[in-house]
Structure 1
């Protein structure tokens, strides 16, 4: 279980990337492949920058811009595509399985994604927002859209203007927290209560960093997440 009382590690404090670096943090996306795979399954087409370019450097800022759109079912599909493509990166492992299952659960997925988006923009606890997409056993309610990708969707659903309180989580982050706060975290199955504790810890570390005399600015919570992600 996560130790919410763990203090901010000094190596994380001294490797904060800054908010601009967070927003510029990106991956290469094969947009042409995404368009082809979506067309095969008669799924809604991509909009925005992934609609016209073949190879795209997709940054966090780009995905946040989707999260800032009007909250509709159509835009929820776009936020799903963008957050998933950002999370999968250039290799897009098992994309056909993911989209096959998404297509077969399209109506249910649309409702779940829109509900999760609304929750991310509200004052609900991380546990409640995460529970919309993830069961109490840590399974994704949308097949092949597991907890790690659910956290990315929720993170970007907050939009660029908000101080993020729902933070991306994956196996690398969990492993990099093992020695400080999460000794049994090397897994990719996280129940809602654990995700809530993780978000609380990241927020507390951001507050602690903001109060440190060597920093002298307000630290975003996703700065802590990116520093943990890059931890050697």
Structure 2
């Protein structure tokens, strides 16, 4: 009888130990909305998605850190693995180009173990390009406006552009819609009207580039024409 009780005690102790044992959390994957080997323009945002797994369905604490840039929301929080196996945070790239390291730590508050995953994001920035229409000749018609076309201007990072127009030759005119790519003017007389355009990708204060200047000559003539 004593031997039987002793055996039960051993089995119970072993079983209870197994039941009480907690498994550390696991990071299954970390992805970005830019795919693998992500690169992003200065000041742009990246969505980071963390996938986790915990055999015990513990509440998991996570914390993100980065060698540059900022997290627009909370970089640390708690997720309940029983109902939620992923969480998304948003990282905004800094204003300096380079390769930045991001890391996330996950713990369950039970095992005392912390698991870590790291990734790198390249921050790049190409300057925008101002591109005006070819020089052309238009017919002078009193009261008729002339449109200048700078809509071919572009930015390699697909940043929104700001437009800066300036008249450098010809009878003085006022540009209507000069904050956009296709302003127009009302020529008071015939002559050569010369304009220059620069574009900028000022996506955040102190961040961005300005293009080289492009120039167009619009000749307003009594005879008109299609230009060249």
Global fold match (TM > 0.5):
no
Larger radius of gyration: 2
- Larger RCO (alpha carbons 8 Å, 6+ apart): 1
Choose between structure 1 and 2: higher helix proportion: 1
Q: TM-score, normalization: structure 1? A: 0.18
Q: TM-score, normalised by structure 2?
A: 0.18
Of Structure 1 and Structure 2, the greater strand share is in 2
